[in-house]
Structure formats: C-alpha cells, structure tokens
C-alpha cells in the first residue's frame, strides 16, 4: 500500500462560551485542521492538529495547510503508510520544528494501519489496558467566583471529580476560586491549577504558598516556557508538585526537564507533541524518570480526543485524569464526527472500531470548513 495524497480540511470550531486563559484575549473559536491521508488501496486515515497560537505554538491554520501540502505531501507520496517512524524522520528532515503539522499526518498513518488490519489503534500500540479513561473538567477564567462555581457544579453533576483550574491573571481571584471550590466540594474533588506560563518566579511562589493549605494536586506551567531553572527552584520551594506543559515539546526538551528536576508531572498533547508515536516515547521517558503523566490536548474534536484515548488504553502504567477530552466535554460547541466521544460519568469510552474508530461527518464539516 502506498500514500497517494494528503488532503487538508481547515475548520473553525466555535467555543460554547468565551474561552479565557492567562495568555491573550478570550477566544470565540479555535482553528483546527483535519487531514485525510489517502492510499492507492482506497483506505483513508484521519488525523487532527490545531493552530493554537499561544506559548509554544506560532502556528496559523494556513501555515499548517501549506506545510503539509507544499512540503510533507511531496516528501511522503509513494511511501508505505505503515512506515510511521521512518516517515516522521523524513518530515523532520524536510522541515525542522514542525510538530504541530506532523501530529495530524502521523496519527492518520496509525488510523490507516488499524483499518488495514481491522484492529483499533490501541491494539497496535500495545494492547488494551483500559476500556475507559477518567478525565478532568477544565475551568477557564471567569469574571466572578459564582460563574466559576456554576461551571464546576455542572461538571460535578456530570460525574467529573477532577478540575483543571486556570490561574495566572489575578492572584486574589485565583485564591478565592480555590477556596470556593474546596468550600463547595470538600475533599471530594482533585484540584489542579494552570497558569499557562504567565507568572514571574516571585508571583508564582507567593501564590503557590497561599494555595498549599488547599491540597492542590499540582501546579501546571507556572513560569514561562523557557524558565526551567525557575521551575526547578519553584519545585524545591513549594510542596505543590510542578507540571511542565508548554516547556515540553520534543523528547529532548523533556529530557532537560528531567535532568534539572524542573517538574515531576508532564502534560502531553497531540498537536503540541507531534502525535501518538512521539507521545508514546515521551510517556516512556517520563515514566522511567518517575514522573506522573497527564494526558492533555488543546480543545479538540473527537479525532484528536480519540487519539489520546487509544494511547491511554494501551498504556500499562498509571495515568492522571487529564484534560485531553476538554473539547468534547462541552468547551467546543460543535464536533465533526458521526459518533462523538462525549464523556459519560466523567469517563471517555475508548473506541473499539478499526483504526481510531472515528468517522467524519461530511455535513458537519461542510458547515465549519473555511477553505471553500
Ligand atoms: Mg496547559
């Protein structure tokens, strides 16, 4: 079997409510790219990446499209879609530092491989260690504590028991939000906080010290992407474990986090880390270093959500209740598949069909695509 074409489908997917984190203005939509890798035997694989455009991502939707059409497609047409690792090496050599566009192509190759042999991707990756995966609810920044508590309450009623709380703009509000969550839910929920790299060292230390009494499971990316020494110092100065997210892209960057003991938790994302194959390597490295693993994603459709669900299903060791399903948990107002992966009772059921086990819905895609 040979690859014949990479089709790109750029989409603009609306957020259900304005999505606000510490970086940049609130957003009304996310631009996400679906690719369909075609083969000479009629099998088509799908993958997804995003134009996130915050720390760690300078991607726009159109440079994702151009990178894939102008550079990746000519480099891999004629290759076997089973040659995942070799193709990724070629893409790296073709255009350096392109994890975001590589992600969609790499995952589409696994989708083809699974469809070719009639097995779900997790079976190809290592087997089935889980049939469902517990996920966390993402609490984006809100104007008032009451609105934040309303969001948390809705998640709680849907069976979520793990919160990823955005922080990093106003430390007094951050503290008030944490206090309010503990007041409302007591010890019945796990709270993780995420500053998206917005804080100075001094501001982070001051805030985390105030949060220590509230049993925070970990603090995600408190400092800027480049400040690994700062993260390492912070990790020694507070009892709250530190998670690296934006600071980890390639395996080399994770290795540097490990060497400096800059974090004891790592978050991966399909787009940020270049797809399932590369994430599996990151998890192996993190696990060998004794780190905890937090499966994440930018807000994604069911396609990238399914990719992480397959990784989780195949992973034989513990995993945290990550935010990889945030897009399909209500943050995005639309999906593009016939069989959406919505969480039930706070859990995502791992797809069991061949490949990713996901079918695109042409009508839904027609409404959201921005190239025609
Ligand atoms: Mg993050």
Q: Is 354 within the bounds of a domain?
A: no
How many domains are there within the chain?
A: 2
One domain, residues 258 and 330? yes
Assign residue 343 the CATH number of its domain: 3.20.20.120
Is residue 355 domain-resident? no
- How far is ligand 1, taken at its centre, from the CA of residue 115, in Å? 32
Residue 209 sits in the same domain as residue 105: no
Tokens of 78: 């004629």
CA distance 201 to 197: 10
**Residue 99 and residue 130 in one domain:** no
Q: How far is the CA of 268 from the centre of ligand 1 (A)?
A: 9
Mark whether 85 and 223 lie in a shared domain. Answer: no
For residues 304 and 161, state if they share a domain.
Answer: yes
Q: What's the token pair of residue 227?
A: 């400040």
Domain CATH for 44: 3.30.390.10
- Determine the pLDDT at residue 215: 98
Q: What is the β-pairing status of strands 27-39 and 44-51? A: antiparallel
Specify whether 170 is located in the same domain as 305.
Answer: yes
Q: How far is the CA of 233 from the centre of ligand 1 (A)?
A: 20
Is the domain of 163 the same as that of 105? no
Residue 356 located in a structural domain: no
**Is residue 113 one of the residues assigned to a domain?**
yes
Q: How far is the CA of 75 from the centre of ligand 1 (A)?
A: 32
Q: How far is the CA of 360 from the centre of ligand 1 (A)?
A: 27
CA–centroid distance, residue 372 to ligand 1 (Å): 32
pLDDT at residue 321 in the model: 98
The residues pairing with 325 across neighbouring beta strands, listed in sequence order, are none
- Please say whether the beta carbons of 87 and 71 come within 8 A: no
* Ligand 1: centre distance to CA 241 (Å): 15
Q: Are residues 161 and 107 in the same domain?
A: no
Determine, yes or no, domain membership for 36. yes
69/162 same-domain check = no
CA–centroid distance, 124 to ligand 1, in Å, is 28
127 alpha carbon – ligand 1 mean position (Å): 28
Entry pTM: 0.98
Is residue 55 in some structural domain?
Answer: yes
Same domain for 340 and 295: yes
Residue 190 lies in a domain: yes
Whether residues 238 and 99 fall in one domain? no
> Are 330 and 246 members of one domain?
yes
Instruction: Quote the mean pLDDT of the chain.
Output: 97
As a whole number of angstroms, the distance between CA 233 and CA 69 comes to 43
Q: Which residues of the chain have pLDDT under 50?
A: none
Nearest to 311 by CA among 163, 162, 128, 136: 128
Residue 4 CA to ligand 1 center (angstroms) comes to 36
Distance of CA 363 to the CA centre of its chain: 26
CA atoms of 37 and 117, how far apart (whole Å)? 17
Q: Which domain holds residue 139?
A: 123-349
How many angstroms separate the alpha carbon of residue 118 from the centre of ligand 1? Answer: 35
CA distance 173 to 170: 5
Task: Quote the pLDDT of residue 55.
Answer: 85
Q: Report pLDDT for 248.
A: 98
């Amino acid at each position: 079997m040979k690859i014949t074409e990479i089709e790109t489908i750029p989409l603009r997917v609306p957020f259900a409510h304005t999505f606000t984190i510490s970086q940049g203005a609130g957003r009304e939509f996310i631009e996400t790219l679906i690719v369909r890798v075609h083969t000479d035997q009629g099998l088509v694989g799908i993958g997804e990446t995003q134009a996130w455009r915050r720390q760690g991502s300078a991607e726009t939707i159109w440079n994702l499209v151009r990178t894939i059409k102008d550079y990746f497609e000519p480099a891999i047409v004629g290759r076997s879609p089973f040659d995942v690792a070799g193709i990724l090496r070629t893409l790296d050599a073709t255009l350096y530092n392109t994890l975001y566009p590589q992600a969609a192509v790499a995952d589409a190759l696994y989708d083809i491989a699974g469809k070719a042999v009639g097995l779900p991707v997790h079976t190809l990756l290592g087997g089935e260690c889980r049939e469902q995966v517990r996920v966390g609810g993402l609490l984006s920044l809100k104007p008032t504590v009451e609105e934040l508590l309303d969001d948390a309450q809705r998640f709680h009623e849907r069976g979520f028991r793990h919160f990823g709380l955005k922080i990093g703009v106003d430390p007094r509000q951050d503290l008030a939000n944490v206090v309010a969550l503990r007041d409302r839910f007591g010890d019945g929920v796990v709270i993780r906080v995420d500053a998206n790299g917005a804080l100075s060292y001094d501001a982070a230390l001051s805030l985390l010290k105030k949060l220590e009494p509230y049993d925070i499971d970990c603090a995600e990316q408190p400092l800027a992407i480049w400040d690994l020494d700062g993260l390492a110092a912070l990790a020694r100065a507070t009892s709250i474990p530190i998670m690296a997210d934006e600071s980890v892209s390639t395996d080399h960057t994770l290795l540097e986090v490990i060497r400096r003991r800059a974090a004891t938790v790592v978050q991966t994302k399909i787009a940020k880390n270049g797809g399932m194959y590369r994430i599996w390597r990151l998890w192996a490295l993190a696990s060998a270093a004794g780190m905890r693993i937090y499966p994440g994603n930018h807000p994604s459709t069911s396609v990238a959500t399914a990719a992480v669900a397959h990784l989780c299903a195949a992973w034989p060791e513990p995993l945290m209740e990550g935010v990889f399903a945030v897009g399909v948990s209500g943050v995005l107002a639309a999906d593009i598949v016939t069989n959406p992966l919505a969480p039930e009772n706070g859990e995502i059921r791992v797809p069991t069909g061949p490949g990713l086990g996901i079918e695109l819905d042409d009508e839904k895609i027609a409404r959201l695509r921005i190239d025609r």
